[in-house]
Structure 1
Amino acid sequence: MKTKEHTQLIKAEAKRLGFLSCGISKAEFLEEEAPRLEKWLNQNMHGEMQYMENHFDKRLDPTKLVEGSRSVISLLLNYFPSEEQNSDSYKISKYAYGMDYHFVIKDKLKDLLHFIQEEIGEVHGRAFVDSAPVLDKAWAAKSGLGWIGKHSNLLTQQVGSFYFVAELIVDLALEYDTPVTNHCGTCTACIDACPTEAIVEPYKVDGSKCISYLTIELKNEIPNEFQGKLDEWMFGCDVCQDVCPWNRFSKSHSEPLFNPNPELLSFTKKDWEEITEDVFKKVFKKSAVKRTKFSGLKQNIEFLRKKK
Structure 2
Amino acid sequence: MSLTTSKEKYAQIIKSQAKSLGFDFCGIAKAEFLEEDAPKLENWLNQNYHGQMAYLANHFDKRLDPAKLVDGAKTVVSLIYNYYPDKPIAAVEGTYKIAKYAYGKDYHFVIKDKLKVLLENLQEQIGEIGGRAFVDSAPVMERQWAQKSGLGWTGKNSLLLNRNMGSFFFLAELIIDLEVSPDTPLAKDYCGTCTKCIDACPTDAIVQPGVVDSSKCISYFTIELKDQIPEEVKGKFENWIFGCDICQDVCPWNRFSKAHQEPAFLPHPELEGFTSRDWEEITQETFNKVFQKSAVKRTKLEGLKRNISFVKK
TM-score, normalised to structure 1, is: 0.98
Q: Is 2:38 aligned against 1:34?
A: yes
**Pair 1:241-2:248 in alignment:** yes
Structure-2 residue corresponding to 1:263: 270
Deviation sequence 1:131-163 (CA, Å, 0-9, x none): 000001110011000000000000011100000
Mapped partners of 2:237, 2:63: distance in 1: 31
| CA shift for structure 1 position 26 | 0.4
State the identity %: 65
1:73 is aligned to 77
Show CA shifts across 1:260-303 (max 9, x none): 01222211111100111111111112100001111110110011
Give the unaligned 5+ runs of structure 2: none
Pairs within 5 Å for 1:110-121 = 110-121=116-127
Q: Distance in 2 between matches of 1:114 and 1:142?
A: 25
The partner residue of 1:57 within 56, 61, 84 is 61
Q: Report the 3-state secondary structure (helix = DSSP H, G, I; strand = E; otherwise coil) of the residue aligned with 1:196.
A: coil
2:168 alignment counterpart: 162
Structure 1 unaligned segments of length 5 or more: list them: none
Of 123, 128, 145, 1:122 maps to 128
- Code of the residue aligned with 1:145 in structure 2: it is L
| Structure-1 separation of matches of 2:229 and 2:142 | 28
Kindly report structure 1 stretches of 4+ aligned residues shifted beyond 4 Å: none
Which residue of 2 is the match for residue 172 of structure 1?
A: 178
How big is the shift at 1:6?
1.1
Counterparts of 2:211 and 2:160, CA distance in 1: 13
Matched with 2:17 is 13
Q: 1:213 and 1:33 mapped to 2: Cα distance?
A: 23
Residue 108 of structure 1 is aligned with which of 106, 114, 118?
Answer: 114
Amino acid in the other structure paired with 2:265:
F
One-letter amino acid of the structure 2 residue matched with residue 55 of structure 1: H
Q: What secondary structure, in the 3-state scheme, does the structure 1 residue paired with 2:192 have?
A: coil
C-alpha separation in 2, matches of 1:78 and 1:53: 29
TM-score, scaled relative to structure 2: 0.97
User: CA-to-partner distance for each residue in 1:21-55, whole Å, 9 max, x for gaps?
Assistant: 00000000001110000000000000000001100
The residue type paired with residue 178 of structure 1 is T
Q: Deviations over 1:71-124 (max 9, x none)?
A: 000000000000211323110000000000000000000000001111111100
In structure 2, give the amino acid aligned to 1:132.
A
SS in 2 for 1:294: helix
Aligned partner of residue 289 in structure 2, secondary structure? helix
- AA matched with 1:77: Y
The Cα offsets for residues 229-287 of structure 1, whole Å up to 9 and x where unpaired, read as: 11110000000000000000000000000000122221111110011111111111210
Counterpart CA distance in 2 for 1:51 and 1:128 is: 16
Q: Structure 2: how far apart are the matches of 1:50 and 1:99?
A: 26
Aligned pairs, number = 306
CA distance in 2 between counterparts of 1:238 and 1:59 reads: 26
CA distance in 1 between partners of 2:9 and 2:163 (Å): 27
Alignment RMSD: 0.7
SS at match of 1:293: helix
Counterpart of 1:20 in structure 2: which amino acid?
D
Corresponding residue to 2:230 among 209, 223, 243: 223
Query: Which of 173, 183, 186 is residue 190 of structure 2 equivalent to?
Result: 183
Give me the whole-angstrom Cα distance separating, in 2, the residues matched to 1:279 and 1:46.
32
The one-letter amino acid of 2:98's match is I
- Separation (CA, whole Å) in 2 of partners of 1:187 and 1:262: 38
